[in-house]
Structure 1
Amino acid sequence: MAINKNSVKSGPYYGWIIVFAMFFINIAVHASANFTFAVFLKPMSEDLSVSREAVSWLHTSRMISGGVSAVVIGKLIDRYGSRWMLPLAAIIVAVAMVLLNWTDNYWQILFLFIVIGIAGLAGPGSLMTSVPVSKWFYKKRGKATAIATAGLGVGGILFAPLHQVLINSHGWRGAWLISAILLVLVVVPIGLIFIRRTPEDQGLLPDGETSDQVLSKENQPLPQNQKTSPDSEDNWKTKEALRTSAMWKVLFAYSILALAMGGFIVHRFSFWSDRGIDSNVIAWSYSLDALVFACAILAAGFLVDRFPVRIVGAIAAGFQILGVLLTIFLDSVLGLYVGAMTLGLGAGTNMVVQIHIWPSYFGRKYIGTIRGIVVPATLVGMGLGPPLVGATFDGFGSYLPAFWASILLAFFSILLLISATPPKRQPLDKAFSRK
């Protein structure tokens, strides 16, 4: 059953339907263990008789292949939207997850993870779930992004203990199989029924405003820092954005932060397990992390609309550093939970910042293509982290050298973010860009 165009135009602004549809899809995306892969690390390593570094490369292959496909996916979303792409991606991912149930060969499993990545649902802030929200909102973009992205936090709350329970009862293979079914049951119908490309396609304007409202507001004096209308937004073409220092500073900042945090997030489960803490207790700490993550996302939606987004991101990265430090120095269950909460606070806030900063700096018109260039670097950073940390553990017998390196890298990313002021161009250039 599809919703017709007249239904979209009547009633509450349809952009909010998009937001809540993406909220539930973001919950379901956790079925593919983008954020809970750490729960699978030790059982897969032991069952396949390979090192933790080797299993980490599975996660890395998914991230890197997702980064490669993002270049194409971003352009496709700008042109066609996510309505058909999301269900197709979910089916491809689910088939690969099901096939994991019937293979013992490491290289075949690696190939299946590459397929999962290429489908385009790998990593945080997937283009298919985040770009549509940016296109449907302008003034309320921060709030809309926060609500949709909060689904990632809720999904973490649900799937961290769920995956552990499934592994305990059905093994890691059975956990992948059941998760595949859940992914398809949620994403396919929601994508087909509710998702639409842009408000303009439906005869609407971003934020649900009418043409008369836009004209009226553009003719009125505005308080400082208040947005006017989507028509006043400066939409940078991809080539123009690539010539700005802001784009490269933000890109490198979040790529470095992804490298720093990616390995820590995957290996902290094993770190605590090696300290003698029960795996079920650790799994519940992931749920607590995800709960704070979700709350931080909602708060960040308020913050990024009112304060410089790069400063919000820098402070959030500081909390992520603190989360690593607490994990290192607090050797107890209390330390486990406090560190998880602190990490969730920083990671949740930065999830919104990473999605919000690009349309905030470069406009929404070409945001799919621009983020299609940015996402590969971030996913490569996130993907390389786990095997590097795994190699450090295999070489030194300890995670601590890698965790300290993560702290230093994250600090450097803070410096880059602080220096990444919004791009500006001369009035004449701006006038030509609108033609």
Structure 2
Amino acid sequence: MKQYTHFIRQNWALLGFGFISIFWGNFGQSFFISWYGTSIQASLGLSAAAYGSLYSAATLASALTIVALGALVDRWPLERFTAAVGAGLTLACLLMALSIHPAVLLLGFYLLRLCGQGLLPHAAQTTMARYFDNHRGKALSLSASGVPVGEILLPLIAVALIGLIGWRGSWMILAVTVPLIYLPLSLWLLRRSPHNTAATPGAAQAPGAISKGRRDMLTDYRFWLALPAVLAAPFLVTGIFIQQGFILEQKVWDPLWLASCFVVYGIAHWLSSIFAGVLVDWFSARKLLPFMLAPLIGALAVLAYLDGYWIAPVFMALLGASIGVASPIIGALWAEVYGTGKLGSIRSLMTAFMVFSTAASPVLFGALIDRGTSLPALFGNSALGTFLAAVLVCFSYPRSTSRG
């Protein structure tokens, strides 16, 4: 922790920008939006299927859009990019509050997913990876702490606001926080940072530094060997959470018991991310890649082959750790291999890959469950597939003898 204390003291402004950007980005995350689902469906007279279809369509559309808009963080000064995305998030919250028709709700979902889930975290993590070289892992893990903090605080805030002023009023309050709190604070932090965030990233990049883009990445065989490992955690964790009813039924767990274990998930998520950030700075992200999937394989094996109430917290701890260790490792990987000059372009494409994978897993898991696949078969085979992804990644970037 001493390393973190000294690092935060020297770079608190830019680290603070990363943290609050990811925290406000939680407005567009599924765990937060889900608290409004029942109220929205009742107000607009939507069935569960219609509501889910609108949400899925908006999510997929945002994934396609971020490929283009995410690259702007490579060409615009960070203050300008942040202001534009903040304006988009404000509009998204206002549209949610004013949704009196499914078409308005669809647009609100789209902007929430684009600006909240996509562009704000994208700007934060691209900035951490770009401006911190020797301390990249710690920077990525500290800014990513905005997610577990949001997982703890924001559901409580949402429930309280909905109870006091209704779901529409709640979104109005959230909309106001962006121009009144987030934008002034984020721009103030950027201006207090010793890093030259007012310049375009190309001008700020050191002469002679590696600067490869999407084309270089997509024509690099190492990328395709690493991709299954990179997408494994978001793909499987989303499928598990969406199909948790099947797990509860097969394991005979009380829903309240599993819900209480989410605290274990959040703590493991945060602690593992902080620890992995230090390891990235010590060893590099490329060298850690073969070990990144160990907690996920353990979680899947525990879920598949062990029974009992005590399994739930163990499973959730391993699942949280799998997400926590992946964030700084994958976040630092692209900068290590392809440089930082076009990092926004690369990260936006990877965000799109991730969103598509999370859209596919609930459908695939649901189809397998409907066909009668047992829990041990479903998650045992998932563990085997994850192990094979870990084997493949051993032949990708870790075999590199030099950067790029």
Same fold, judged at TM 0.5 (above):
yes
Q: What's the counterpart of residue 149 of structure 1?
A: 144
3-state SS of paired residue (1:262)? helix
Residue from 92, 96, 100 that aligns with 1:96 = 92
Residue from 237, 254, 260 that aligns with 1:277 = 254
Report the Cα offset of residue 77 of structure 1: 0.5
Report the Cα offset of residue 302 of structure 1: 0.9
Report if the CA contact (8 A) 1:57-1:386 is conserved. Answer: no
The Cα offsets for residues 261-289 of structure 1, whole Å up to 9 and x where unpaired, read as 2222344378549956355x655433432
Instruction: Give runs of aligned pairs for residues 241-390 of structure 1, distance below 5 A.
Output: 241-268=217-244, 271-272=247-248, 277-278=254-255, 282-310=258-286, 312-327=288-303, 334-390=310-366
Report the Cα offset of residue 18 of structure 1: 1.0
Residue from 179, 183, 192 that aligns with 1:188 = 183
3-state SS of paired residue (1:72)? helix
Q: What's the counterpart of residue 9 of structure 1?
A: none
Quickly say closer, same or farther: Cα 1:40–1:316, change in 2 above 3 A. farther
For 1:259, the aligned partner's letter is: F
- Whether 1:67 and 2:43 are equivalent positions in the alignment is no
Q: What's the counterpart of residue 125 of structure 2?
A: 130
Report the Cα offset of residue 242 of structure 1: 3.2
For 1:70, the aligned partner's letter is: I
3-state SS of paired residue (1:306)? helix
For 2:113 and 2:301, locate their aligned partners in 1 and report how far apart those are by CA, in whole Å. 31
Report if the CA contact (8 A) 1:263-1:382 is conserved. Answer: yes
Residue from 32, 45, 50 that aligns with 2:47 = 50
RMSD: 4.2
Report if the CA contact (8 A) 1:236-1:366 is conserved. Answer: yes
Quickly say closer, same or farther: Cα 1:39–1:271, change in 2 above 3 A. farther
5+ unaligned residues in a row in structure 1: which ranges? 1-11, 206-228, 431-435
Report if the CA contact (8 A) 1:39-1:160 is conserved. Answer: yes
Q: What's the counterpart of residue 116 of structure 1?
A: 112
- Whether 1:158 and 2:134 are equivalent positions in the alignment is no
TM-score by length of 2: 0.78
For 2:83 and 2:37, locate their aligned partners in 1 and report how far apart those are by CA, in whole Å. 28
For 1:416 and 1:167, locate their aligned partners in 2 and report how far apart those are by CA, in whole Å. 47
Q: What's the counterpart of residue 78 of structure 1?
A: 74
TM-score by length of 1: 0.73
Residue from 23, 26, 33 that aligns with 2:19 = 23
3-state SS of paired residue (1:419)? coil
Report the structure, 1 or 2, having the larger helix content.
2
Q: What's the counterpart of residue 223 of structure 1?
A: none
For 1:333 and 1:182, locate their aligned partners in 2 and report how far apart those are by CA, in whole Å. 41
Percent of residue pairs identical: 19
For 1:260, the aligned partner's letter is: L
Report the Cα offset of residue 417 of structure 1: 2.3
5+ unaligned residues in a row in structure 2: which ranges? 1-7
Report if the CA contact (8 A) 1:285-1:337 is conserved. Answer: yes
3-state SS of paired residue (2:282)? coil
Report if the CA contact (8 A) 1:154-1:291 is conserved. Answer: no
Q: What's the counterpart of residue 28 of structure 2?
A: 32
Report the Cα offset of residue 299 of structure 1: 0.6
For 1:97 and 1:400, locate their aligned partners in 2 and report how far apart those are by CA, in whole Å. 42
Quickly say closer, same or farther: Cα 1:159–1:417, change in 2 above 3 A. farther
The Cα offsets for residues 150-189 of structure 1, whole Å up to 9 and x where unpaired, read as 2222222223454456567777666655544455554322
For 2:382 and 2:120, locate their aligned partners in 1 and report how far apart those are by CA, in whole Å. 21
Report if the CA contact (8 A) 2:21-2:121 is conserved. Answer: no
For 1:298 and 1:249, locate their aligned partners in 2 and report how far apart those are by CA, in whole Å. 27
Report if the CA contact (8 A) 1:163-1:175 is conserved. Answer: yes
